[in-house]
Amino acid sequence: MENFQAVFAAEELDNNTARAVDVDGVNVLVCNAGGTFYAVINQCTHQASELEGGRIRNCFISCPLHGARFDLRDGSTKGQLTQIPLTTYPVRVVDGQVEVAVD
């Protein structure tokens, strides 16, 4: 069973922004993409740069370093820089709090 942990209030994260949080030692990037929340590992699969600060449009995030694009829904890649998908984590909003499960 998933072990969800509250990370911050949903209203703290503006639309099309993301914030990195530590969840059980995992560096997770929580993204608000058009009002839908996603959680992915905060590490690009190209050259391991942090994804925090990357541009979010629709349900995609672009790595700030070289621009690799990932689908936040399933972590899949777009383009040629990397074919390795991002790890994604279950995320939900309960009573206004964003919750993430990493196990």
Among 49, 76, 87, 97, binds ligand FES (CB under 6 A): 49
Terminal Cα distance for the chain, rounded: 9
Looking at this protein, which amino acid is placed at residue 20?
A
Per CB under 6 A, the segment of 4-12, 27-35, 62-70, 86-94 that binds ligand FES is: 62-70
| Contact flag: residue 23 with ligand FES (CB under 6 A) | no
Among 6, 10, 26, 81, binds ligand FES (CB under 6 A): 81
| Contact flag: residue 30 with ligand FES (CB under 6 A) | no
Stated length of the chain: 103
| Contact flag: residue 68 with ligand FES (CB under 6 A) | yes
Q: CA–CA separation, 37 vs 18, rounded Å?
A: 9
Q: CA–CA separation, 80 vs 13, rounded Å?
A: 30
